[in-house]
A and B are shown apart, each in its own frame.
Chain A
Amino acid sequence: MKQNLLEIRDLTKIYGGGLLSQSPPVVALQHFDLLIPEEPAQIVTIAGESGSGKTTLANLILGFVRLTSGLMLYRGMDVTRMTKAETLTYRREVQAVFQDPYSVYNPYYRVRHIFDVVIKNFRLGSGRRESRDLMEDALRLVGMKGEDILHKYPHQLSGGQRQRMMVARAYLMKPTLIVADEPVSMIDASLRAMILDIMLKLRDEHNISFLYITHDLSTAYQIGDEMHLLYRGLTVEKGSTMRIIENPQHAYAKDLIASVPVPDPAKKWQGRIQMADENEATRHTLSPRPVYWEVEPGHWVAEG
């Protein structure tokens, strides 16, 4: 039987609410399901606004926070019960690219430092020559050259270059999955396509899957395969990115898609939109597990 690369079942994360906690618990993510097959690699978009739980999902997968309930299997292994060796493999094969391509660098080191560290820690290359080749190979993939870039300090690179370096660093580990949390939202619009194009290349030529976490539906529309649309911690719509965007069903999905501005003055927003009067203190509460119905092949919507 073919294994799945990543399988998530009924994943829930609740923050706070412990014995000594003063404030009520916050349900950040609930009843989340996900299936990424080993092959073919795909770009799975996790879309939603701030507070929808998308970054919590990234943190859970990357092991930054512990899940409250549910199951997370990587190649059939329970992520929470891995041996030390399995954990090390998992940490190498599941890589991350974050939103802010500046804060991940130590400004006092030249940028080659981020490569040196991973090569050393994960014993990727033996000897200077081999390490250098690995770096060049990774940099070539993102359209850069070692001689132009490695001796520089982070502030001497543009945002796009810094982010490409992060992708190259992730690629260096020969990952199976890259969790990309808003990888292009701090990059100039005209340079975004470059990063997205690298993602497509990694998917198609290197069989690397992506969990593309974003609030930007238009870039997801350009490159995404599957999409999960989160709203207040719950998946309200999932399936083919194109079908969801072209034929949204859930009230929130409709509002969201209608609010994405279109670069054409002849196609202005229709009507007005009202925002619920809610404050930051509004807690998300635990809901029953939603029932999904298939509105068209491969396009599921939460009922109710």
Chain B
Amino acid sequence: MTTDQVMTIQNLSVEYPTPERTVFAVNDISFEIKRGEILGLIGESGSGKTTAANAILRLLERPGRVAGGQVWLNGETELLSLPEHEFRQLRWSELALVSQGAMNSLNPTMRVRDQIADGIRAHETNPAALTKRALQARIHELLTMVGLPDRVYRVYPHELSGGMKQRVGIAMAVALSPALVIADEPTSALDVITQRVVAQTLLDIRDRLGISVLLIGHDIALMAQLADRIAVMYDGHIVEAGPVTEVLKSPAHPYTRMLMDSMPSLLERKPLVVVDEAAKLEFSHYLKPPLRFVEVAPGHRVAQFD
């Protein structure tokens, strides 16, 4: 069965028990990712965006644990309750990760071609795709896909720049045509021009391969360039979500508005909007769970505040 939704997250919570109290890093969040869309999950440090991604990928480290909720893949498989050996089969083949440090997670002693081949061999189930010739052709195709020159096939990671390594990471992530790629701050460590090239690559895999992307980041401007829809996280909650054009044009939640106001722009030199830590904490008064959402425009939902 295929549905319009690649992933549906329902009431996901992640808790970290501490001696004093239990901290909810992710607090009852729900959202869905449609087929072929780029969903931007945006938040500042400590908002819970990476924890949410790790929970979906079952990569949470103790003492963090999922306190509740469900994650449905393709509307048919609930990931959080799946036995480990079954979940492992979905990694890479259905769900792949590109992390901020993907460029540093390449094995320095292996040529790029061998690393990509390794990933394919470990997860590919069709034996015809594993012949030397088939593998070779596929790796070349993947490198072209992410816009890398052919020489990359033979080189070692240290011979590549950061942006090129990041694109090797994307090539590996899409090697098995997963339904969803989770990209966690994939361009944050890169220069502006390199960031644009890597962002272009993410758009390409969506446009040409139809792969959905959950893009996690803190940069509203980058989200405006890439995402179809965005969800804004603050203190473990999603406070606002909707089509990117709609949310950025008429941000409804005070926190989203503050984020937008504090964003510098090259379009105009405007006075600085100074926000301090205390002012940011104020927003937590709006968060009295369970949050209730209002739809202010089609598909644009905002947590109620008063």
Residue-by-residue, is B90-106 near A (CB-CB < 8 Å gives 1, otherwise 0)?
A: 00000000000000000
Tell me which of B194, B245, B264 contacts A222 (CB under 8 A). Answer: B264
Are B267 and A262 within 8 A (Cβ)?
A: yes
CB distance from B274 to the nearest CB of A (A): 5
Are B274 and A194 within 8 A (Cβ)?
A: yes
Are A190 and B258 within 8 A (Cβ)?
A: yes
A158-B277, A196-B272, A263-B221 in contact; A275/B163 too (CB < 8 A)? Answer: yes
Q: Which residue of B lies closest to A224 (CB)?
A: B269
Are A264 and B277 within 8 A (Cβ)?
A: no
Are B197 and A273 within 8 A (Cβ)?
A: yes
A161-B277, A221-B269, A279-B160 in contact; A193/B193 too (CB < 8 A)? Answer: no
In the complex, chain B residues 45-75 whose Cβ is within 8 Å of any chain A Cβ: 45
Interface residues on B, range: 35 or more
Q: Number of residue pairs across A and B with beta carbons under 8 Å?
A: 140
Are B277 and A260 within 8 A (Cβ)?
A: no
B44 interfacial contact with A, CB 8 Å: yes
Q: How far is A143 from B279 in the complex, measured between Cα atoms in Å?
A: 13
A219 interfacial contact with B, CB 8 Å: yes
Tell me which of A159, A190, A245, A257 contacts B275 (CB under 8 A). Answer: A190
A280 interfacial contact with B, CB 8 Å: yes
Tell me which of A159, A223, A260 contacts B266 (CB under 8 A). Answer: A260
A242 interfacial contact with B, CB 8 Å: yes
A281 interfacial contact with B, CB 8 Å: yes
Tell me which of B159, B258, B260 contacts A280 (CB under 8 A). Answer: B159
What are the residues of chain B within 8 A of A279 when measuring CB–CB?
A: 155, 159-161, 164
Are A190 and B259 within 8 A (Cβ)?
A: yes
CB distance from A232 to the nearest CB of B (A): 12
A275-B163, A279-B160, A280-B158 in contact; A221/B264 too (CB < 8 A)? Answer: yes
Are B264 and A197 within 8 A (Cβ)?
A: no
What are the residues of chain A within 8 A of B272 when measuring CB–CB?
A: 193, 196-197, 200, 222-223
Q: How far is A203 from B280 in the complex, measured between Cα atoms in Å?
A: 27
Are A218 and B266 within 8 A (Cβ)?
A: yes
11 sampled A-B residue pairs with Cβ under 8 A: A160-B277, A191-B277, A194-B274, A242-B269, A255-B193, A259-B196, A260-B221, A265-B248, A266-B245, A268-B224, A280-B158
Could you tell me which A residues sit within 8 Å of B by CB distance? 49-50, 143, 158-161, 188-194, 196-197, 200, 215, 217-219, 221-223, 242, 245, 255-257, 259-269, 272-275, 277-281
